[in-house]
Chain A
Amino acid sequence: MFKRRPLQSKSEIWMRNIAMGFLIIYMTIFLIVPVIIVVAGSFHQWNPLNQTYNWIGLDNYIRMFSYPTFWQSMANTVIFCVVVVIFRVLLGLAIAYALNSKLMKHKTLFRTIFYMPTVTPLVAVAYVWKIMYNPQFGLIDNIFGLDINWLYDSRFALIALMVMTIWKDFGYAVILFLSGLLSLPSDCYESASIDGANAWQTFRYITLPLLKPTMLFVVVTSIISYLQAYVPVLVMTTGGPGTSTYLSSYLVYDQAFKQYNFGFASAISLFILVLTAIFTVISFKVTGANEN
């Protein structure tokens, strides 16, 4: 590769200024300003619907930390996020590895099938699954001969949401890992087989380390999106039974757009932002540490 030259022509400078100027202005209006508004709002009793905006200091934060539903939703969110990400990665990696093997034919067919749930709208899918979980006429109890009231039993409700989400989303990981596997250099494998490595060793010591960037991408984007999940809760359980399936983003939705406590909801959403940052840093650290 030859060295890049600095910007020269006028049109290049124009292009850069237009693109970056647009980007910066846009991000300021739609991200920085909102974050500032939320920080300010979290110190107020705030309801734009009847025009309340009263300074109450740290009350929202104090209420948040002493609110049992908040802690429950945080615990649920962490469980939901960790379990779904693990399943997504494991299933995605295993299926991609199998599809990539020389033994398989009909790869396109399988790939298309596995990715199908991912391209369908979540709201629609959630409605279908809600009916599938019905204890009287739902598909799941009927097929497996069970008698479980999935969405109304606190032992199963969160699991039911996770199963639906895993079904919906594992295809995303399949596609990404498959692309990752396809782009691996084949000479590594050749040298490995010359060295007499078995299949597991090849996978463990050659494939997996090479897939690290893909892995990181899948894990980070998954964590970010699952910390924000609320649609399954909204459609399937509305947080119930009791508060056992509240996820933190659903709590924000509920507090802001059902109870009209916008200030309180702002405090919670800022906490989610912090949590997202921590999780992201951790996943970078974990993957980075493995490199040695």
Chain B
Amino acid sequence: MKHKTLKTVLYIVLALLGVVTVFPFVWMVLSSFKTNNEIQSIVQTLLPQEAIVDNYLNLQQTFDFLRYFLNSIFIAVAVTVIVIYTSCLCGYVLGKYQFKGKNVIFGFVMMTMMVPWSVTIIPRYTMFMEAGLQDTYISLILPVMVSGFGIFMMKQNMESIPDELIEAARMDGSNEFQTFHKLVLPLCKNGISAIAIFQFLWVWEDYLWPYLMIDSEKKQLLAVGLTLFNGRYSTDYGGLFAATTISILPVIIVYVIFQKRFVAGVAAGAVKG
């Protein structure tokens, strides 16, 4: 009996929190079907009085959102794949090998996580300027190829792989590169999923760096595109709602696909730290 009330209370509280969490998204999606006058009118309703899709249609006409979208996906996927690989490689070496200086290197990697973007962005900006790499995608990929966070997560993940497995592979005569690619990588699916989600999101929402580096409108990314849109059509709230809806949906989809592995991956990486 006592359990039952407790259970009901728990459900109600969590459900309320869930509603609070989801409500802004619902409001955003519903508002993207409203006219601008309705959005800004003093009398407000949740549902659109007359639902329109013009906001989405106009978006493509006035602003090449599809292109920004594809650019962002391209960069986010490329960076995510590279980071996963470098994290796994460094994580494997740091997690499974014994050698002198290992702890120094690992400690150093941990320290780099503390360096704020505000310290590195100014010199990075001057470095890339001098190298003439502005307005290229290399400038977006190069500085984020290695992630201290990713190496840390993968090192923990790697340590949980039994040594016997690796030893057995070595006995079978496979060299380290084969072991790493054929045995170790597939064993780290969970960790990889966790990094994939984090990294994809970080690239997807990164704003300042692509904003500084990319000049051509055609190469621009979605997060910057959103601010460009707002700068140019600051009065078009309906368009802004439609644009934000478009930029939020893909990450949610990626997350829903990976989420099961993701939780397990985070558990293996972060929690045992």
B114 close to A224 (CB less than 8 A): yes
Distance A139 CA – B3 CA, assembled complex (angstroms): 37
Q: Given the complex of chains A and B, what is the CA–CA distance between A195 and B45 in angstroms?
A: 56
Closest Cβ of chain B: how far from A51's Cβ, in Å?
11
CB distance from A210 to the nearest CB of B (A): 10
A141 to B22, CA, bound (A): 18
Contact indicator per residue, chain A 116-139, by CB within 8 Å of chain B (1) or not (0): 111111111101110110001101
A64 at the interface (CB under 8 A from B): no
**Chain B window 199-211, contacts with chain A (Cβ cutoff 8 Å), 1 for yes, 0 for no:** 0010011011000
Give the residue of A18, A34, A101, A182 whose beta carbon is less than 8 angstroms from that of B123: A34
Which B residues are in CB contact (< 8 Å) with A289? none
Docked Cα-Cα span, A207 to B208, in Å, equals 41
Query: Which of A82-90, A152-160, A265-273 is near enough to bind chain B?
Result: A265-273
B266 near A95 (CB under 8 angstroms)?
no
Given A103-B10, A113-B18, A119 and B201 contact (CB-CB distance below 8 Å): yes
Interface residues of B in 18-57 (CB under 8 A from A): 18, 20-25, 27-28, 31, 39-42, 44
A2: Cβ under 8 A from any B Cβ: yes
Q: For chain B, which range describes its interface: under 10, 10 to 19, 20 to 34, or 35 or more residues?
A: 35 or more
**Using Cβ atoms and an 8 Å threshold, which residues of chain A touch B23?**
139
> Chain A 1-20, CB within 8 Å of chain B: the 1/0 string?
11010110101101110111
Most chain B CB within 10 A, of A6, A11, A123, A270, is at: A123
B266 touches A124 (CB 8 A): no
Encode A172-197 as 1/0 by CB contact (under 8 A) with B.
Answer: 00011011101100000000000000
A24 to B248 alpha-carbon distance, docked (Å): 36
Contacts of B93 in A (CB 8 A): 15-16, 19-20
Whether the Cβ atoms of B112 and A235 lie closer than 8 Å is no
Measured in the bound complex, the distance between the Cα atoms of B143 and A151 in whole Å is 34
Of the candidates A122, A178, A227, A256, which one forms a contact with B116 in the assembled complex, judged by CB atoms under 8 Å apart?
A227
* CA–CA, A27 and B201, complex, Å: 22
| Contact across chains for B22 and A15 when beta carbons are under 8 A apart | no
Contact of A9 among B175, B259, B273 (CB under 8 A): B175
Contact residues of A between 95 and 121, Cβ < 8 Å to B: 95, 98-99, 101, 103-104, 108, 110-121
Contact, CB under 8 Å: A128 / B124: no
Q: Give the CA-CA distance A280 to B116 in the complex, in Å.
A: 13
Most chain B Cβ neighbours within 10 Å, of A2, A104, A112, A127: A127
